[in-house]
Amino acid sequence: MPCFITDSDQQVANDTPGKKFNNNNLFCISTRSTAFTSGDFADYCAKEKIKHHAITTGLPRANGQIERINQTIISVLSKLSLENPNKWYKFTNELQQKINSTYQRSIDTTPFKLLFGTKMNTGGLDKLKEMVEAEFQANFEAQREELRKHAKQQIYKIQEENRKTYNLRRREPKPYRVGNLVAIKRTQFGPNLKLKPKYFGPYSITRAKGGNTYDVFKEGNHEGPNFTTTCAEYLKPWNTMSEC
């Protein structure tokens, strides 16, 4: 259970069994304040067989475990100690119990049940339970919104990279005018069409639609649709298609 104490002796005293905090934590995640980096606290953790992990200062993405819980702790303690903010520490024991008995999506159970295999008895803490669950829900929604924003930014980033890569290989399409004779590319192939010519023609351009797209009309009697819409990438000048 994180707390805001700067004196290592007081921290060790507070963590001693029978005091404010239950000695159920086999893994302690803390800040790098002097209360947690002192030799006394290290000796205490060694004596009680507590694994101590100090977070990386100034690196929020590396502190996800403690940062998420801290958001809930600070918010709930602030609400509970509105009348006397200096007495916030009086609520830490009950808050610790309620957090440890609250369902966590990441483990699909409560921390207490995961550790001890049974449900914690938290009678009389219904109001606190509602506050903790509300904060967890708010944090979950905020985290989800951040993930969505990141995903949106990532999509734009990849789209821009793909656009640049495509443009490096892409040649400017040849412009055509109304009346030009062209051949249009066959875009559908079936089992019996693999040996067919890759282009139909001749076709005449009847309309330039913008964006390098054109309406074309079949000239003469040959294979292909009577009229269609296609793009410059699928067109070739008819005078270069003597094989059609």
Model pLDDT for residues 4-17, shown as the tens digit of each residue: 444 545 545 455 44
Count the neighbouring beta carbons within 10 Å of the beta carbon of residue 200: 21
Instruction: Write the pLDDT tens digit of every residue in 126-154.
Output: 677 777 778 878 877 888 888 899 999 99
- The pLDDT value given to residue 17: 45
Instruction: Write the pLDDT tens digit of every residue in 159-198.
Output: 898 888 877 877 778 888 888 899 888 877 666 666 677 8
Show the domains of the chain with their CATH numbers. Answer: 59-146 (no CATH), 180-237 (2.30.30)
Distance set, CA 186 to CA 49, 176, 197, 222, 227 (Å)? 74, 19, 8, 13, 13
Higher pLDDT, 120 or 122: 120
Phi, psi of 49 (to 5 degrees): 60, 45
> Average pLDDT of the chain?
78
Average pLDDT over residues 19-41: 72
CA dist 141 and 214 (Å) reads: 48
Query: Token digits for 15?
Result: 């963590």
CA dist 222 and 238 (Å) reads: 14
- Please, what's the b/e burial string for 105-127 (b: 16 or more CB within 10 A of its CB; e: otherwise)? eeeeebbbbeeeeeebebeebee
- The pLDDT value given to residue 158: 92
- The pLDDT value given to residue 3: 45
Low-confidence winner among 18-32, 97-111, 142-156, 208-222 (lowest mean pLDDT) = 18-32
Average pLDDT over residues 91-102: 83
- The pLDDT value given to residue 146: 87
**Inter-residue contact 173 to 232 (CB < 8 Å):** yes
% residues pLDDT > 70 (the chain): 79
- This prediction has a pTM of 0.38
First to last CA, the chain: 80
Residue 1, pLDDT above cutoff 50: no
- The pLDDT value given to residue 130: 78
Helix residue spans in 170-232 (DSSP H): none
- The pLDDT value given to residue 201: 80
Task: Give the model's confidence band at 244: pLDDT under 50 very low, under 70 low, under 90 confident, else very high.
Answer: very low
